[in-house]
Amino acid sequence: MSHIRPLRFIRRGQVVTLNGVAPDRTLLEVLREDLGCTGTKEGCGEGDCGACTVVLGSEREGAVHYQSVNSCIRLAHSVDGMALWTVEDLVADPLIQPTEKSASDLHPAQQAMVNCHGSQCGFCTPGFVMSMFGMYQNHVCKGQAITRELAVEELSGNLCRCTGYRPIFDAAQSMAELPRMQVNEPELLKQINTLKTNAPSGDATYLAPTTFNELLRARAAHPDALVAAGTTDVGLWITKMHKQYAQILDVTRAEELRRITTDAQQIHIGAAVSLTDAFGALVQHWPQLHRFATRFAGMPVRNSGTLGGNVANGSPIGDSMPLLIALGASITLASVRGERSVALEDFYTGYRKNLLAADELLTAIHVPLPVANQQLAAYKISKRFDDDISAVCLVIQMQIDNGVICEARIGAGGVAATPARAVQTEGLLNGQVWSEALATQAGQSLQAEFNPISDMRASSAYRREMLGALLQRFWLETSGTLSKDPAPSLATLQPLEVSP
């Protein structure tokens, strides 16, 4: 295993170097088994409970960018060159320094949990503390308040089954009231940049090219390598299906794939842009997507997962694809032979099958900017309100001018073997006066257009019923009869509830 490049990251102000780490080992395995960091817990092993949460720090535009991630499904080599904090590090890292006098040695994220009685059995506590540490760095240290709504959103990927969430949310909100502690970012940036400058070259097992052309050449040379990005799905293949991979091609180091740019017509999102950043860019143009975006898994999954990975994976229950289809998105497929553009709905050829050739990579997603008279709504039906997979996802976009539908686009998930576009129903709607009668007719058309299966999430009949109901809901919202963003209450948080 001498040909495996060393894994290097910064912890407690020092460079940690590990040799012989297999390309398919998870970060959690390395932390617990190699470094003895048993404060980081293994719960579900699939990024669902948050007990394994750690925080990563990387350089972005001259500052440290903090991300809470699930270490159980994150590949260890993916954190090479980054800073890493586990729950043990918050009182042991010399780079975390108090800026105000305090009677406690604990970090505010920890002290707030003590003060608010936010821990009972304690198993989930390290994960909550680390998510709160990420919140502290991203909000409190920047002078931003942590509201109840923000606490609920950013802790949605951490589950607790005995303490209850009220004291934990109280703790998150109260961190700002405690004496401040701050990461010495100038010193940390020096260390990160030193690691980047002195990065070892050549590795036959974990390929992580840093430029677009190098990435395409690596794909051409290693067509059998597993392509990995945030590994929020690949990680499950390792932890749950026990698959092993001798060679991995990591696309997230290529700078060109990590950019978001906008021109006069489109938003261009690199395939390696995280779901958090990608949805953030979309919400800037379509604010009504905020709730839909925050219900896509939990924050640690959105921080690790990439939009390109979600699209390329092609899960029929992935939430981003129905949205992108409804928005008229296209994708770029690239290889050393050149590039080609494909409409997203044409990319899928079958269940988890697509048009990618062996030497190609999905490199970018292009989303047309909003146009005049555009109405857009995204609906997610799931058993849990937060951190759950959709039973049905439906996104409807219409351009309505003087009551007439100029163009309708509908993307659907959970109702076919692939994410799908409702072409027949769109044809029924285009050029027609938008009315309640037309909405009813279109709902019936949508039900007939798909043949969903029954599974653990919902029956086929239920899924069909929801397609018609969501079309009716869109009519009520666009006609002004129903509020587009009702506040959640105990009455609405029922199994398989519907919310935008």
- Same domain membership, residue 409 and residue 352: no
- Same domain membership, residue 283 and residue 137: no
pLDDT of residue 361: 98
- Same domain membership, residue 388 and residue 351: no
Give the C-alpha separation, 152 to 130, whole Å: 15
- Same domain membership, residue 9 and residue 96: yes
pLDDT of residue 4: 84
Q: What is the CATH number of the domain that holds 494?
A: 3.30.390.50
- Same domain membership, residue 317 and residue 267: yes
Give the C-alpha separation, 108 to 110, whole Å: 5
* Total domains present in the chain: 3
3-state secondary structure of 355: coil
- CA 386 → CA 257, 408, 462, 493, distances in Å? 29, 29, 20, 10
Look-up of token digits 């409702």: 422
Q: Is 36 exposed, middle or buried (0-12, 13-18, 19+ CB in 10 A)?
A: exposed
Q: What is the CATH number of the domain that holds 305?
A: 3.30.465.10
Q: Which two tokens stand for residue 151?
A: 């606490």
- CA 332 → CA 38, 223, 327, 344, 365, distances in Å? 42, 18, 16, 9, 7
Plot region of 352 (φ>0 → left; ψ -120 to 50 → alpha; else → beta): left
244 within domain boundaries:
no
Q: Which of 368, 392, 411 is the last residue of a domain?
A: 368
Q: Which of 181, 202, 223 is the last residue of a domain?
A: 202
- Same domain membership, residue 347 and residue 393: no
3-state secondary structure of 39: coil
Prediction pTM value? 0.94
Q: Is 499 exposed, middle or buried (0-12, 13-18, 19+ CB in 10 A)?
A: middle
Q: What is the CATH number of the domain that holds 18?
A: 3.10.20.30
The string of pLDDT tens digits covering residues 119-174 is 999 999 999 999 999 999 999 999 999 999 999 999 999 999 999 999 999 999 99
- Same domain membership, residue 84 and residue 43: yes
- Same domain membership, residue 408 and residue 364: no
φ/ψ (deg, to 5) at 34: -95, -35
pLDDT of residue 484: 58
- Domain span including residue 107: 1-202
177 within domain boundaries:
yes
The one-letter code for the residue type at 456 is M
Per-residue pLDDT of the chain (500 residues; tens, 9 = 90+): 447 889 999 999 999 999 999 999 999 999 999 999 999 999 999 999 999 999 999 999 999 999 999 999 999 999 999 999 999 999 999 999 999 998 999 999 999 999 999 999 999 999 999 999 999 999 999 999 999 999 999 999 999 999 999 999 999 999 999 999 999 999 999 999 999 877 766 678 999 999 999 999 999 999 999 999 999 999 999 999 999 999 999 999 999 999 999 999 999 999 999 999 999 999 999 999 999 999 999 999 999 999 999 999 999 999 999 999 999 999 999 999 999 999 999 999 999 999 999 999 999 999 999 999 999 999 999 999 988 999 999 999 999 999 999 999 999 999 999 999 999 999 999 999 999 999 999 999 999 999 999 999 999 999 999 999 999 999 999 997 766 554 443 333 333 344 43
Q: Is 462 exposed, middle or buried (0-12, 13-18, 19+ CB in 10 A)?
A: middle
pLDDT of residue 485: 53
8 within domain boundaries:
yes
pLDDT of residue 201: 65
